[in-house]
Amino acid sequence: MILVVNAGSSSVKVELFSTDLTSVIAGSVTEIGGAGELRLGTVRRAVSAPDHDAALMALLDALAQAGHPFERITAAGHRVVHGGTDLTRPVRLTPAAIGAIRDCIPLAPLHNPHHLAGILALAQRAPDLPQCASFDTAFHATNPAVATTYALPPDLTAQGYRRYGFHGISYASLVAALPQRTGQPLPQRLLACHLGNGVSLCAIRDGRSVATTMGYSPLEGLTMGTRSGSIDANAVLAMAAAFGIDETGVLLNNRSGLLGLSGGTSDMRALLASDAPAARFAVDHFVYWACRHAGSMIAAMGGVDAVAFTGGIGEHAAAIRDRIMDGLAWAGPVPHHIVPADEERQIAADTQRLLEEG
Protein backbone atom coordinates (compact mmCIF):
# COMPACT_ATOMS: atom_id res chain seq x y z
CA MET A 1 0.00 0.00 0.00
CA ILE A 2 1.04 3.59 -0.65
CA LEU A 3 0.74 6.22 2.07
CA VAL A 4 0.20 9.77 0.80
CA VAL A 5 1.18 12.52 3.23
CA ASN A 6 0.23 16.20 2.99
CA ALA A 7 1.80 18.14 5.85
CA GLY A 8 0.44 21.69 6.19
CA SER A 9 1.22 24.51 8.58
CA SER A 10 -1.04 23.22 11.38
CA SER A 11 -2.24 19.86 10.08
CA VAL A 12 -1.16 16.56 8.60
CA LYS A 13 -3.43 14.72 6.18
CA VAL A 14 -2.87 11.14 5.05
CA GLU A 15 -4.57 8.79 2.62
CA LEU A 16 -3.82 5.13 2.06
CA PHE A 17 -4.06 3.64 -1.43
CA SER A 18 -3.98 0.05 -2.60
CA THR A 19 -1.74 -1.02 -5.48
CA ASP A 20 -4.58 -0.40 -7.97
CA LEU A 21 -4.79 3.19 -6.65
CA THR A 22 -8.09 2.62 -4.87
CA SER A 23 -8.44 4.79 -1.78
CA VAL A 24 -8.52 2.62 1.34
CA ILE A 25 -8.86 5.16 4.15
CA ALA A 26 -8.09 8.84 4.78
CA GLY A 27 -7.41 10.81 7.93
CA SER A 28 -5.90 13.92 9.43
CA VAL A 29 -4.63 15.57 12.56
CA THR A 30 -5.58 19.24 12.82
CA GLU A 31 -4.66 22.04 15.24
CA ILE A 32 -1.09 20.79 15.70
CA GLY A 33 0.43 22.50 18.70
CA GLY A 34 -3.00 23.19 20.16
CA ALA A 35 -6.17 21.26 20.87
CA GLY A 36 -5.39 18.56 18.32
CA GLU A 37 -8.09 16.45 16.72
CA LEU A 38 -7.53 13.15 14.91
CA ARG A 39 -9.90 11.93 12.22
CA LEU A 40 -9.55 8.59 10.49
CA GLY A 41 -12.49 7.19 8.58
CA THR A 42 -15.40 7.50 11.01
CA VAL A 43 -13.12 7.89 14.04
CA ARG A 44 -12.89 11.34 15.55
CA ARG A 45 -11.07 12.07 18.82
CA ALA A 46 -8.85 14.52 20.64
CA VAL A 47 -5.12 13.90 20.35
CA SER A 48 -1.94 15.38 21.77
CA ALA A 49 0.15 16.58 18.83
CA PRO A 50 2.72 19.18 19.85
CA ASP A 51 4.47 18.95 16.48
CA HIS A 52 4.23 17.36 13.04
CA ASP A 53 6.24 14.30 14.07
CA ALA A 54 3.78 13.52 16.86
CA ALA A 55 0.80 14.12 14.55
CA LEU A 56 2.11 11.73 11.91
CA MET A 57 2.96 9.05 14.48
CA ALA A 58 -0.55 9.36 15.94
CA LEU A 59 -2.01 8.80 12.48
CA LEU A 60 0.20 5.76 11.88
CA ASP A 61 -0.91 4.30 15.23
CA ALA A 62 -4.55 4.97 14.34
CA LEU A 63 -4.08 3.29 10.96
CA ALA A 64 -2.66 0.24 12.71
CA GLN A 65 -5.64 0.14 15.08
CA ALA A 66 -7.93 0.31 12.04
CA GLY A 67 -6.29 -2.80 10.56
CA HIS A 68 -3.62 -1.13 8.43
CA PRO A 69 -0.30 -1.76 10.18
CA PHE A 70 2.73 0.23 9.13
CA GLU A 71 4.48 -2.92 7.93
CA ARG A 72 2.02 -3.16 5.02
CA ILE A 73 3.00 0.27 3.69
CA THR A 74 5.37 -0.23 0.77
CA ALA A 75 6.07 3.44 -0.03
CA ALA A 76 5.13 6.99 0.90
CA GLY A 77 4.35 9.90 -1.41
CA HIS A 78 4.47 13.49 -0.21
CA ARG A 79 2.95 16.70 -1.49
CA VAL A 80 5.59 19.42 -1.61
CA VAL A 81 4.51 22.92 -2.58
CA HIS A 82 7.78 24.23 -4.02
CA GLY A 83 10.41 22.47 -6.08
CA GLY A 84 12.06 25.59 -7.45
CA THR A 85 13.78 25.39 -10.84
CA ASP A 86 15.48 22.04 -10.23
CA LEU A 87 12.71 19.73 -8.99
CA THR A 88 10.47 19.80 -12.04
CA ARG A 89 9.03 16.29 -11.91
CA PRO A 90 8.13 13.79 -9.15
CA VAL A 91 11.26 12.31 -7.56
CA ARG A 92 12.48 9.55 -5.28
CA LEU A 93 13.57 11.19 -2.06
CA THR A 94 17.34 10.83 -1.83
CA PRO A 95 19.53 12.96 0.45
CA ALA A 96 20.19 15.21 -2.57
CA ALA A 97 16.46 15.65 -3.29
CA ILE A 98 15.75 16.37 0.38
CA GLY A 99 18.53 18.96 0.31
CA ALA A 100 16.97 20.56 -2.79
CA ILE A 101 13.59 20.78 -1.01
CA ARG A 102 15.34 22.40 1.92
CA ASP A 103 17.01 24.88 -0.44
CA CYS A 104 13.52 25.95 -1.58
CA ILE A 105 12.44 26.95 1.93
CA PRO A 106 13.07 30.68 1.21
CA LEU A 107 10.60 30.38 -1.68
CA ALA A 108 7.93 28.64 0.44
CA PRO A 109 8.73 29.34 4.11
CA LEU A 110 5.20 28.50 5.25
CA HIS A 111 5.07 25.14 3.46
CA ASN A 112 8.34 23.37 2.67
CA PRO A 113 9.54 23.12 6.31
CA HIS A 114 6.38 21.22 7.23
CA HIS A 115 6.70 18.92 4.21
CA LEU A 116 10.26 18.18 5.30
CA ALA A 117 9.06 17.43 8.82
CA GLY A 118 6.76 14.72 7.49
CA ILE A 119 9.48 13.28 5.24
CA LEU A 120 12.06 13.17 8.02
CA ALA A 121 9.62 11.74 10.57
CA LEU A 122 8.85 8.81 8.28
CA ALA A 123 12.54 8.34 7.49
CA GLN A 124 13.28 8.10 11.20
CA ARG A 125 10.45 5.60 11.72
CA ALA A 126 11.44 3.45 8.70
CA PRO A 127 14.80 4.37 7.12
CA ASP A 128 14.37 1.80 4.33
CA LEU A 129 10.85 2.89 3.30
CA PRO A 130 10.90 4.32 -0.24
CA GLN A 131 9.65 7.90 -0.20
CA CYS A 132 8.75 10.12 -3.15
CA ALA A 133 7.61 13.70 -3.61
CA SER A 134 5.31 15.46 -6.07
CA PHE A 135 5.60 19.23 -6.46
CA ASP A 136 2.89 21.84 -6.96
CA THR A 137 5.27 23.91 -9.07
CA ALA A 138 6.50 21.10 -11.34
CA PHE A 139 3.60 21.00 -13.82
CA HIS A 140 4.38 24.56 -14.87
CA ALA A 141 8.04 23.88 -15.68
CA THR A 142 6.96 23.70 -19.33
CA ASN A 143 5.99 27.39 -19.37
CA PRO A 144 8.21 29.32 -21.79
CA ALA A 145 10.72 31.77 -20.34
CA VAL A 146 8.70 34.72 -21.66
CA ALA A 147 5.83 33.57 -19.39
CA THR A 148 7.89 32.94 -16.26
CA THR A 149 10.26 35.91 -16.36
CA TYR A 150 9.38 39.15 -14.60
CA ALA A 151 10.72 42.26 -16.31
CA LEU A 152 13.59 42.54 -13.84
CA PRO A 153 17.38 42.71 -14.24
CA PRO A 154 18.84 39.24 -14.96
CA ASP A 155 20.75 39.10 -11.66
CA LEU A 156 17.45 39.28 -9.77
CA THR A 157 15.86 36.62 -11.95
CA ALA A 158 18.89 34.43 -11.24
CA GLN A 159 18.16 34.79 -7.51
CA GLY A 160 14.76 33.15 -7.99
CA TYR A 161 12.49 36.15 -8.54
CA ARG A 162 10.31 34.70 -11.30
CA ARG A 163 6.93 33.09 -11.82
CA TYR A 164 6.63 29.47 -10.75
CA GLY A 165 2.90 28.71 -10.62
CA PHE A 166 1.12 26.37 -8.21
CA HIS A 167 -1.75 23.86 -8.04
CA GLY A 168 0.35 21.74 -10.40
CA ILE A 169 -0.56 18.41 -8.80
CA SER A 170 -4.23 19.29 -9.25
CA TYR A 171 -3.68 20.16 -12.91
CA ALA A 172 -1.69 16.97 -13.55
CA SER A 173 -4.56 14.99 -12.01
CA LEU A 174 -7.08 16.85 -14.17
CA VAL A 175 -5.10 16.11 -17.36
CA ALA A 176 -5.02 12.41 -16.46
CA ALA A 177 -8.68 12.20 -15.42
CA LEU A 178 -10.50 14.25 -18.08
CA PRO A 179 -10.12 11.78 -20.99
CA GLN A 180 -11.30 8.98 -18.70
CA ARG A 181 -14.40 10.98 -17.77
CA THR A 182 -15.28 12.06 -21.31
CA GLY A 183 -14.11 9.06 -23.30
CA GLN A 184 -12.46 11.54 -25.67
CA PRO A 185 -8.83 12.64 -26.17
CA LEU A 186 -7.62 15.55 -24.09
CA PRO A 187 -8.63 18.83 -25.80
CA GLN A 188 -5.67 20.44 -27.54
CA ARG A 189 -6.30 23.83 -25.89
CA LEU A 190 -7.73 23.36 -22.40
CA LEU A 191 -8.50 26.15 -19.94
CA ALA A 192 -8.28 24.56 -16.50
CA CYS A 193 -9.84 26.40 -13.55
CA HIS A 194 -8.86 25.41 -10.01
CA LEU A 195 -11.41 27.31 -7.95
CA GLY A 196 -11.27 26.82 -4.20
CA ASN A 197 -9.95 28.82 -1.27
CA GLY A 198 -6.87 29.13 -3.45
CA VAL A 199 -7.72 30.04 -7.04
CA SER A 200 -5.74 29.77 -10.24
CA LEU A 201 -6.18 29.16 -13.96
CA CYS A 202 -3.89 27.20 -16.24
CA ALA A 203 -3.54 27.25 -20.03
CA ILE A 204 -2.89 23.63 -21.04
CA ARG A 205 -1.87 23.02 -24.65
CA ASP A 206 -1.30 19.44 -25.76
CA GLY A 207 -1.32 18.36 -22.12
CA ARG A 208 1.39 20.79 -21.05
CA SER A 209 1.13 24.00 -19.06
CA VAL A 210 2.01 27.04 -21.15
CA ALA A 211 0.76 29.76 -18.76
CA THR A 212 -0.79 30.05 -15.30
CA THR A 213 -2.06 32.86 -13.13
CA MET A 214 -0.13 32.30 -9.89
CA GLY A 215 3.44 33.56 -9.90
CA TYR A 216 6.36 33.86 -7.49
CA SER A 217 3.92 32.87 -4.77
CA PRO A 218 0.29 31.70 -4.61
CA LEU A 219 -0.72 35.34 -3.98
CA GLU A 220 -0.61 36.44 -7.61
CA GLY A 221 -3.58 36.13 -9.93
CA LEU A 222 -7.31 35.89 -9.24
CA THR A 223 -9.44 36.94 -6.28
CA MET A 224 -9.19 34.11 -3.74
CA GLY A 225 -10.73 33.12 -0.44
CA THR A 226 -8.46 35.24 1.75
CA ARG A 227 -5.74 36.30 -0.73
CA SER A 228 -5.97 39.56 -2.64
CA GLY A 229 -4.76 38.23 -5.97
CA SER A 230 -2.68 40.53 -8.18
CA ILE A 231 -2.09 44.00 -6.80
CA ASP A 232 0.15 46.87 -7.92
CA ALA A 233 3.57 46.42 -6.31
CA ASN A 234 3.67 50.11 -5.41
CA ALA A 235 0.45 49.64 -3.41
CA VAL A 236 2.20 46.81 -1.54
CA LEU A 237 5.20 49.05 -0.88
CA ALA A 238 2.90 51.78 0.44
CA MET A 239 1.15 49.30 2.74
CA ALA A 240 4.49 47.97 3.98
CA ALA A 241 5.61 51.51 4.75
CA ALA A 242 2.36 52.25 6.59
CA PHE A 243 1.75 48.96 8.42
CA GLY A 244 5.05 47.07 8.35
CA ILE A 245 6.08 44.11 6.24
CA ASP A 246 4.67 41.39 8.48
CA GLU A 247 1.27 43.04 8.87
CA THR A 248 1.09 43.66 5.13
CA GLY A 249 1.80 39.98 4.50
CA VAL A 250 -1.03 38.97 6.82
CA LEU A 251 -3.34 41.53 5.22
CA LEU A 252 -2.73 40.35 1.65
CA ASN A 253 -2.68 36.60 2.36
CA ASN A 254 -5.17 36.15 5.19
CA ARG A 255 -7.52 39.14 5.37
CA SER A 256 -8.22 39.99 1.74
CA GLY A 257 -9.94 38.26 -1.18
CA LEU A 258 -13.57 37.25 -0.68
CA LEU A 259 -13.16 37.65 3.07
CA GLY A 260 -11.95 41.21 2.78
CA LEU A 261 -14.45 42.26 0.12
CA SER A 262 -17.45 40.81 1.94
CA GLY A 263 -16.33 41.93 5.37
CA GLY A 264 -17.29 38.61 6.88
CA THR A 265 -16.73 35.34 5.05
CA SER A 266 -14.66 33.61 2.41
CA ASP A 267 -17.22 30.79 2.03
CA MET A 268 -18.66 30.97 -1.49
CA ARG A 269 -21.80 29.10 -0.42
CA ALA A 270 -22.56 31.74 2.19
CA LEU A 271 -21.80 34.55 -0.23
CA LEU A 272 -24.11 33.14 -2.90
CA ALA A 273 -26.89 32.75 -0.34
CA SER A 274 -26.55 36.31 0.95
CA ASP A 275 -28.41 39.39 -0.28
CA ALA A 276 -25.93 41.77 1.35
CA PRO A 277 -24.45 44.23 -1.17
CA ALA A 278 -20.90 43.45 -0.03
CA ALA A 279 -21.46 39.73 -0.55
CA ARG A 280 -22.87 40.28 -4.05
CA PHE A 281 -19.94 42.52 -4.91
CA ALA A 282 -17.46 39.91 -3.66
CA VAL A 283 -19.03 37.33 -5.97
CA ASP A 284 -19.04 39.79 -8.87
CA HIS A 285 -15.37 40.53 -8.23
CA PHE A 286 -14.50 36.83 -8.19
CA VAL A 287 -16.28 36.17 -11.49
CA TYR A 288 -14.98 39.33 -13.21
CA TRP A 289 -11.35 38.53 -12.50
CA ALA A 290 -11.78 34.86 -13.36
CA CYS A 291 -13.11 35.88 -16.77
CA ARG A 292 -10.49 38.57 -17.27
CA HIS A 293 -7.60 36.23 -16.45
CA ALA A 294 -9.24 33.51 -18.55
CA GLY A 295 -8.87 35.79 -21.57
CA SER A 296 -5.13 35.97 -20.87
CA MET A 297 -4.86 32.18 -20.65
CA ILE A 298 -6.82 31.75 -23.89
CA ALA A 299 -4.49 34.20 -25.62
CA ALA A 300 -1.48 32.19 -24.41
CA MET A 301 -2.93 29.07 -26.05
CA GLY A 302 -4.10 30.80 -29.22
CA GLY A 303 -7.71 29.85 -28.55
CA VAL A 304 -9.67 27.40 -26.42
CA ASP A 305 -11.32 24.05 -27.16
CA ALA A 306 -12.72 23.22 -23.70
CA VAL A 307 -12.88 24.45 -20.12
CA ALA A 308 -12.49 22.21 -17.07
CA PHE A 309 -13.43 23.16 -13.50
CA THR A 310 -11.99 21.59 -10.36
CA GLY A 311 -11.64 22.51 -6.67
CA GLY A 312 -14.38 23.10 -4.13
CA ILE A 313 -15.97 26.09 -5.87
CA GLY A 314 -15.28 24.74 -9.34
CA GLU A 315 -16.96 21.43 -8.57
CA HIS A 316 -19.90 22.54 -6.43
CA ALA A 317 -20.85 26.14 -7.31
CA ALA A 318 -22.87 25.79 -10.51
CA ALA A 319 -23.82 29.48 -10.39
CA ILE A 320 -20.14 30.48 -10.53
CA ARG A 321 -19.37 28.07 -13.36
CA ASP A 322 -22.35 29.38 -15.35
CA ARG A 323 -21.36 33.00 -14.86
CA ILE A 324 -17.78 32.33 -15.91
CA MET A 325 -18.92 30.46 -19.03
CA ASP A 326 -21.32 33.34 -19.81
CA GLY A 327 -18.38 35.71 -19.49
CA LEU A 328 -16.46 33.62 -22.02
CA ALA A 329 -19.27 33.56 -24.59
CA TRP A 330 -17.10 35.71 -26.86
CA ALA A 331 -14.86 32.65 -27.36
CA GLY A 332 -17.71 30.80 -29.07
CA PRO A 333 -19.46 27.57 -28.07
CA VAL A 334 -16.98 25.84 -25.78
CA PRO A 335 -17.80 22.67 -23.82
CA HIS A 336 -17.03 22.67 -20.13
CA HIS A 337 -16.42 19.79 -17.76
CA ILE A 338 -16.29 19.18 -14.02
CA VAL A 339 -13.33 17.12 -12.77
CA PRO A 340 -13.27 16.31 -9.04
CA ALA A 341 -9.95 17.26 -7.47
CA ASP A 342 -7.92 14.19 -6.50
CA GLU A 343 -4.40 15.35 -5.76
CA GLU A 344 -3.76 12.49 -3.34
CA ARG A 345 -4.44 9.86 -6.00
CA GLN A 346 -2.13 11.72 -8.39
CA ILE A 347 0.65 11.64 -5.78
CA ALA A 348 0.03 7.91 -5.25
CA ALA A 349 0.20 7.36 -9.02
CA ASP A 350 3.44 9.36 -9.23
CA THR A 351 4.90 7.29 -6.38
CA GLN A 352 3.88 4.00 -7.96
CA ARG A 353 5.40 5.00 -11.31
CA LEU A 354 8.70 6.00 -9.67
CA LEU A 355 8.87 2.65 -7.86
CA GLU A 356 8.25 0.80 -11.12
CA GLU A 357 11.00 2.79 -12.81
CA GLY A 358 13.37 1.66 -10.08
Residues catalogued as catalytic: 136
Q: Alpha carbon of 237 to those of 96, 141, 249, 254: distances in Å?
A: 37, 29, 11, 18
DSSP string, 295-312: HHHHHHHTS-SEEEEEHH
User: Cβ–Cβ contacts within 10 Å for residue 302, how many?
Assistant: 11
**Residue 157 φ then ψ, to 5°:** -60, -40
User: Cβ–Cβ contacts within 10 Å for residue 130, how many?
Assistant: 16
Point out which residues pair with 5 in neighbouring strands: 14, 78
**Closest Cα partner for 124 from 18, 71, 53, 213?**
53
Q: Which amino acid is at 150?
A: Y
Q: Please state, in angstroms and rounded to a whole number, the distance separating the CA atoms of residues 301 and 220.
A: 20
Q: Alpha carbon of 61 to those of 212, 215, 323: distances in Å?
A: 40, 39, 46
Torsion sign across C-alpha atoms 217, 220, 222, 227: positive
Q: Alpha carbon of 273 to those of 279, 280, 283: distances in Å?
A: 9, 9, 11
**Closest Cα partner for 286 from 225, 213, 230, 329?**
225
